[in-house]
C-alpha cells in the first residue's frame, strides 16, 4: 500500500541481518491450500459469523439492557475480544478479517456475487466490479482515520462494553458505512482506511506467527499478469490492493486468499514464522501514533475499567452519571496522553539516542519511525495482560448467557442459573507478569534488530538502544504497578 | 588459555533471576508484628470506599460492609469470601464459595491476612451497567510479586543490553 507519508526502507532487511526461519504451511499441509483455494471458502467461513452477528444485533435490540446478562456484550466484549487479541492476532495475523461479517454486504454490492468471480474490466483490475469504483483520496490513504476513530470509540468504551444498544448502534453504523463506501470507492476501502478494528489489527499483525507471501519474489517480478492485484478468472483482484511481489509485512494483507486462487504461477503460500521477529519495519507516522494510542489505551483501560478508583469510572460512565466536566478531563487526558505526551516522551528518547550515539548519518525521523517497532510487541502483550482478567473473572457469564441470550429468563441448555464464578482470579497477576515481561523482551529484541540494520558501528548501535530501552522498561514498570503493585 | 563464552540465554536468565531474587529480599525483612485491623467498607455504584486496603501479613482483618445505594456483593479473591450487602441494613450475608452457596447473616467478617500479594474484591451482585468493573484492592505486605517483577524487568534490561553489545551490527552508517 503506497502512501505519501510512508518512507521507503533505506536498506532491505535481508541484506544485512539474517532472516528468521519460516516454513511453508501449504507445502506441509496440502489440504489447507486446497481449502483456501475453494471459491466458496471465504463465503463459508463468513456465513456462520454473519448469522451469529445478526443474532447478536437482535439480542441487543430486544434483550435486557444489562450488559452482563445480554449475549452481545458477553460474547463480543469478553469472549471475542480475548480470542482476537490473545489468539487470533498473535497466531493468525489478520485471520479475523478472513471471517469478519462487517464488509459482507459491501463485497456483495461490488461483486454481485457471493462465490463466483466476474471477469471483465474495472479500473486497474481484470474483474467486473459494480458501483462507482472511485479512488480513495491519497491524503486519506493511511491509518490516521482509523487512529482517530479508535481513540474516539475508546473514549466511550465504558458505554460500549456495558450497554448492548450502544454496541448495536456502533456495529450498525459500521455495516452501513462499509456498504456505502463499497458502492462509491474501489475494493475494501472501509477495511483499509476506515474500520477502527482493522487499524490495530494491521499494527499487531506484524508480530504474528504466520504470513502470506510469495514463495519466490523473482517469479512475481517476471509475472506479466499480476493477477494477485489485478484479479483473473480464478480470483478477485486483491480487495486490499496488495501486490504480492512487494508484500513484506502483514499489516495490510487481510488474508482473503484471493491471490492464492488467482496466482497463475502457484507462487503464493502461507508460512509459519517466529513471533514478533519478522516484520519490524514501521513505515509511517500514522503507524507510530497507532502504536502510541494502543499502548496508552491499554494503560487507560487498566486504570479506568480494572482499577479501584470510582472517580474515573464515574467520569467515563457519562450517560449514567452525567458529569460532563469529569468526562472532559477523562477524554481530554486520554487523548492528550495518546497523541501528545507519550509520543513526546518517545521522541525525547530518540533525540537522546541520536545524541548519545552521535548518529549524525541517520535522521531523527528515520530513527523515530524505525525504533517505534519496540512499542508493537509491548503494546500487544500489554493488551493481552489486560484482557486475561476480563476472561478469567467474567468468563462464567458466557455459560449463563448461552442459555439465556436475551436475559428473558430462558434456560436453553440448563445453564442459565450458572453463578458468576471467577476462575482462579488470585492467579491472574502471576499470568500477567510473564506476559508483560515477554512484551518487554520482544520489544527490546525488535529494537535491537532494527538498530542492527541502521548502524555499522557497534558502539553507536549500543548507545542508540539505551534511551528507548529505558523508556520501554518505564512502560513495563507502569503496567506492573497497575496490575500487581 | 581458551576463553569460555557464556551463552546469551544464560546471561539473560541469570540476570532475570538475580533481579527477581533481589526484589524478593528487598521486602522480605523488617516486617511489623501482626495487628488487629477493623475496617468499614462502603459499596456504591461502581466502587468501594476505601478503594485500596493495605495490611500486613498476619494481621487480623475485620470488615464491616455498608451499601449506600443498591445491593452489592463483595467477593474477595484469594480468601474464599463472598458477601452481599443491602442498603440501610446493619447486617450482611456471607459465604465461603469453596464450601457451597449457603449464606449466613453476620455483622462483620474476620480473617487473618495470611496470603501476601494484591487481591481484588469485586461486586458479585449485578448492581448496574458498570457492575463488572466494580472492584477494590486488598494489598497484603510483603507483596513479593511486585518488587520481584521490578527486579526481573531491570535484570532483563541489563541482560539484553549486555548481549546486544556482543552482537555485531550490520547496518550502513
Provide the 3-class DSSP secondary structure of residue A222: helix
Determine whether the interchain pair A437/B135 forms a contact, defined as Cβ–Cβ distance below 8 Å: no
Q: What is the pLDDT of residue B5?
A: 80
Q: Tell me whether the omega of the peptide bond preceding residue B50 falls within 30 degrees of 0, making it cis.
A: yes
pLDDT band with cut points at 50, 70 and 90 for residue A14:
very low
Residues of B in contact with A462 (CB under 8 A): 161, 164-165
| Whether the predicted pLDDT of A5 surpasses 60 | no
Provide the 3-class DSSP secondary structure of residue A416: coil
Determine whether the interchain pair B164/A68 forms a contact, defined as Cβ–Cβ distance below 8 Å: no
pLDDT band with cut points at 50, 70 and 90 for residue B6:
confident
> Which of B20, B81, B130 would you mutate first to test chain A, the one with the most A CBs within 10 A?
B130
Determine whether the interchain pair A425/B120 forms a contact, defined as Cβ–Cβ distance below 8 Å: yes
Please report which helix (H) or strand (E) contains residue B139, including its range: strand B135-141
DSSP per residue, A322-358: --HHHHHHHHHHHHHIIIIIHHHHHHHHHHHHHHHHT
| Whether the predicted pLDDT of B91 surpasses 80 | yes
Q: What is the pLDDT of residue A2?
A: 39
* Pairing state between β B52-56 and B135-141: parallel
Interface of A with B in 403-422 (CB under 8 A): 419-422
Q: What is the pLDDT of residue B8?
A: 87
The phi, psi pair for A411, rounded to 5°, reads: -145, 70
| Whether the predicted pLDDT of A464 surpasses 70 | yes
Rg (Cα) of chain B, in Å, rounded? 23
Q: What is the pLDDT of residue A30?
A: 97
pLDDT in tens, A155-185: 999 999 999 999 999 999 999 999 999 999 9
Nearest CA in chain B to A454: B171
Determine whether the interchain pair B145/A444 forms a contact, defined as Cβ–Cβ distance below 8 Å: no
* Secondary structure string (H, E, C) spanning B48-111: EECCEEEEECCCEEEEEEEECCCCEEEEECCCCEEEEECECCCCEEEECHHHCCCCEEECCEEE
Rg (Cα) of chain A, in Å, rounded? 23
Picking from B129, B153, B165, the nearest residue to A462 by CB comes out as B165
Q: What residues contact residue B135 under an 8 Å CB cut-off, 6+ apart?
A: A306, A308, B48, B120, B121, B122, B123
- Give the C-alpha separation, B72 to B57, whole Å: 27
Q: What is the pLDDT of residue B1?
A: 64
Check: CB of residue A229 under 8 Å from CB of residue A241.
yes
Residues of B in contact with A306 (CB under 8 A): 133, 135
| Whether the predicted pLDDT of A67 surpasses 80 | yes
Q: What is the pLDDT of residue B171?
A: 61
Cβ of residue A437 closer than 8 Å to a chain B Cβ: yes
pLDDT band with cut points at 50, 70 and 90 for residue A463:
very high
Distance from the B137 Cα atom to the nearest Cα atom in chain A, whole angstroms: 6
- Give the C-alpha separation, A108 to A101, whole Å: 12
ipTM (interface pTM): 0.95
What average pLDDT score do residues B2-16 get?
88
Q: What is the pLDDT of residue A6?
A: 41
Interface of A with B in 109-128 (CB under 8 A): none
- Give the C-alpha separation, A310 to A308, whole Å: 6
What average pLDDT score do residues A130-158 get?
96
Chain Cα centroid distance, residue B103:
26
Q: What is the pLDDT of residue A4?
A: 35
> Which of B24, B129, B136, B161 would you mutate first to test chain A, the one with the most A CBs within 10 A?
B129
| Whether the predicted pLDDT of A8 surpasses 80 | no
| Whether the predicted pLDDT of B29 surpasses 70 | yes
Determine whether the interchain pair B75/A422 forms a contact, defined as Cβ–Cβ distance below 8 Å: yes
Q: What residues contact residue A105 under an 8 Å CB cut-off, 6+ apart?
A: A175, A178, A179, A182
Interface of A with B in 361-400 (CB under 8 A): 361-362, 393-394
What average pLDDT score do residues A28-37 get?
97
pLDDT in tens, A412-435: 999 999 999 999 999 999 999 999
The pTM score is 0.94
pLDDT band with cut points at 50, 70 and 90 for residue A1:
very low
Q: What is the mean pLDDT of chain B?
A: 94
Which residue, A416, A360, A399, A380, is CA-closest to A295?
Answer: A380
> Which of A67, A300, A310, A438 would you mutate first to test chain B, the one with the most B CBs within 10 A?
A310
- Give the C-alpha separation, B34 to A329, whole Å: 41
Q: What is the pLDDT of residue A283?
A: 95
How many beta carbons lie within 10 A of that of residue A258, not counting itself? 28
- Give the C-alpha separation, B81 to B138, whole Å: 13
In this structure, what DSSP letter does residue B47 have?
A: E
pLDDT band with cut points at 50, 70 and 90 for residue B169:
confident
User: Cα angle vertex A37, ends A35, A38, to 5°?
Assistant: 70
| Whether the predicted pLDDT of B11 surpasses 60 | yes
Residue A33 grid cell: 491450500
- Give the C-alpha separation, B8 to A43, whole Å: 48
How many beta carbons lie within 10 A of that of residue A91, not counting itself? 14
Cβ-in-10-Å burial (0-12, 13-18, 19+) of A58 comes to middle
Interface of A with B in 295-314 (CB under 8 A): 305-306, 308-311, 313-314
How many CA atoms, within 13 angstroms, populate the side-chain half-sphere of residue A271?
Answer: 19
Please report which helix (H) or strand (E) contains residue B38, including its range: strand B36-44
Cβ-in-10-Å burial (0-12, 13-18, 19+) of A78 comes to buried
Q: What is the pLDDT of residue A302?
A: 97
Counted across chains A and B, CB pairs separated by less than 8 A come out at 161
Residue B72 grid cell: 452489592
Distance from the A351 Cα atom to the nearest Cα atom in chain B, whole angstroms: 17
Q: What is the pLDDT of residue A18?
A: 65
Q: What is the pLDDT of residue B3?
A: 76
Cβ of residue A454 closer than 8 Å to a chain B Cβ: yes
| Whether the predicted pLDDT of A19 surpasses 80 | no
pLDDT band with cut points at 50, 70 and 90 for residue A17:
low
Picking from A420, A448, A485, the nearest residue to B164 by CB comes out as A448
- Give the C-alpha separation, B95 to B106, whole Å: 10
| Whether the predicted pLDDT of A3 surpasses 50 | no
- Give the C-alpha separation, A87 to A91, whole Å: 6
Amino acid at each position: 500500500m503506497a502512501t505519501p507519508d510512508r518512507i521507503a526502507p533505506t536498506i532491505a532487511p535481508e541484506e544485512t541481518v539474517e532472516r528468521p526461519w519460516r516454513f511453508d504451511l501449504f507445502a506441509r499441509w496440502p489440504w489447507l491450500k486446497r481449502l483456501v483455494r475453494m471459491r466458496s471458502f471465504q463465503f463459508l467461513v463468513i456465513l456462520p459469523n454473519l448469522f451469529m452477528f445478526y443474532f447478536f444485533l437482535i439480542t441487543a435490540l430486544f434483550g435486557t439492557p444489562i450488559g452482563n446478562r445480554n449475549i452481545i456484550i458477553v460474547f463480543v466484549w469478553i469472549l471475542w475480544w480475548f480470542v482476537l487479541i490473545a489468539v487470533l492476532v498473535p497466531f493468525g495475523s489478520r485471520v479475523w478479517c478472513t471471517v469478519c461479517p462487517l464488509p459482507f454486504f459491501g463485497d456483495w454490492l461490488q461483486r454481485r456475487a457471493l462465490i463466483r468471480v466476474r471477469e471483465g474490466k474495472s479500473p486497474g483490475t481484470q474483474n467486473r466490479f459494480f458501483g462507482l469504483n472511485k479512488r480513495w483520496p491519497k491524503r486519506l490513504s493511511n491509518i490516521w482515520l482509523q487512529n482517530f476513530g479508535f481513540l474516539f470509540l475508546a473514549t466511550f468504551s465504558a458505554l460500549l462494553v456495558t450497554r448492548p444498544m450502544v454496541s448495536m448502534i456502533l456495529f450498525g453504523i459500521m455495516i452501513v458505512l462499509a456498504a456505502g463506501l463499497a458502492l462509491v470507492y474501489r475494493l475494501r476501502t472501509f477495511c483499509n482506511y476506515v474500520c477502527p478494528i482493522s487499524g490495530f489489527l494491521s499494527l499487531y499483525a506484524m508480530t504474528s506467527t504466520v504470513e502470506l507471501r510469495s514463495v519466490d519474489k523473482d517469479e512475481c517480478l517476471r509475472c506479466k499478469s499480476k493477477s494477485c492485484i489485478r484479479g483473473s478468472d480464478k480470483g478477485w483482484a486483491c480487495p486490499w490492493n496488495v501486490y504480492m511481489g512487494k508484500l513484506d509485512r502483514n499489516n495490510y494483507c487481510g488474508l482473503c486468499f484471493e491471490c492464492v486462487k488467482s496466482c497463475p504461477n502457484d507462487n503464493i503460500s502461507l508460512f509459519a514464522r517466529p513471533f514478533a521477529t519478522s516484520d519490524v519495519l514501521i513505515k509511517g507516522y500514522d503507524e507510530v501514533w497507532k502504536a502510541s494510542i494502543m499502548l496508552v489505551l491499554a494503560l487507560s483501560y487498566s486504570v479506568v475499567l480494572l482499577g479501584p478508583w470510582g472517580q474515573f469510572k464515574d467520569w467515563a460512565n457519562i450517560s449514567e452519571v452525567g458529569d460532563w466536566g469529569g468526562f472532559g478531563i477523562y477524554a481530554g487526558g486520554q487523548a492528550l496522553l495518546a497523541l501528545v505526551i507519550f509520543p513526546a516522551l518517545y521522541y525525547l528518547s530518540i533525540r537522546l539516542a541520536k545524541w548519545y550515539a552521535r548518529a549524525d548519518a541517520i535522521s531523527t525521523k528515520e530513527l523515530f519511525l524505525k525504533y517505534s517497532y519496540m512499542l508493537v510487541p509491548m503494546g500487544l502483550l500489554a493488551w493481552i495482560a489486560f484482557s486475561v482478567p476480563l476472561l478469567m473473572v467474567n468468563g462464567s457469564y458466557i455459560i449463563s448467557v448461552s442459555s439465556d441470550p436475551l436475559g428473558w429468563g430462558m434456560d436453553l441448555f440448563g445453564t442459565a442459573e450458572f453463578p458468576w464464578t471467577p476462575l482462579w482470579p488470585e492467579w491472574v497477576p502471576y499470568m500477567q507478569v510473564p506476559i508483560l515481561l515477554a512484551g518487554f523482551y520482544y520489544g527490546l529484541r525488535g529494537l535491537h534488530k532494527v538498530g542492527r540494520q541502521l548502524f555499522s558501528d557497534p558502539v553507536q548501535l549500543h548507545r542508540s538502544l539505551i534511551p528507548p530501552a529505558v523508556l520501554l522498561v518505564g512502560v513495563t514498570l507502569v503496567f506492573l504497578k497497575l496490575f500487581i503493585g | 588459555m581458551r576463553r569460555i563464552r557464556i551463552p546469551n540465554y544464560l546471561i539473560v536468565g541469570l540476570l532475570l533471576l538475580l533481579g527477581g531474587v533481589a526484589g524478593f529480599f528487598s521486602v522480605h525483612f523488617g516486617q511489623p508484628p501482626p495487628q488487629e485491623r477493623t475496617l468499614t467498607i462502603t459499596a456504591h455504584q461502581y466502587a468501594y470506599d476505601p478503594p485500596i486496603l493495605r495490611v500486613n501479613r498476619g494481621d487480623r482483618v475485620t470488615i464491616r460492609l455498608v451499601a449506600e445505594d443498591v445491593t452489592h456483593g463483595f467477593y474477595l479473591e484469594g480468601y474464599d469470601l463472598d458477601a452481599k450487602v443491602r442498603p440501610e441494613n446493619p447486617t450482611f450475608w456471607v459465604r465461603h464459595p469453596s464450601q457451597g452457596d449457603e449464606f449466613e447473616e453476620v455483622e462483620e467478617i474476620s480473617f487473618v491476612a495470611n496470603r501476601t500479594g494484591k487481591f481484588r474484591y469485586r461486586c458479585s451482585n449485578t448492581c448496574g451497567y458498570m457492575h463488572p468493573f466494580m472492584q477494590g484492592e486488598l494489598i497484603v505486605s510483603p507483596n513479593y510479586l511486585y518488587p520481584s517483577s521490578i527486579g526481573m524487568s531491570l535484570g532483563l534490561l541489563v541482560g539484553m543490553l549486555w548481549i546486544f553489545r556482543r552482537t555485531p551490527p550490520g547496518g550502513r552508517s
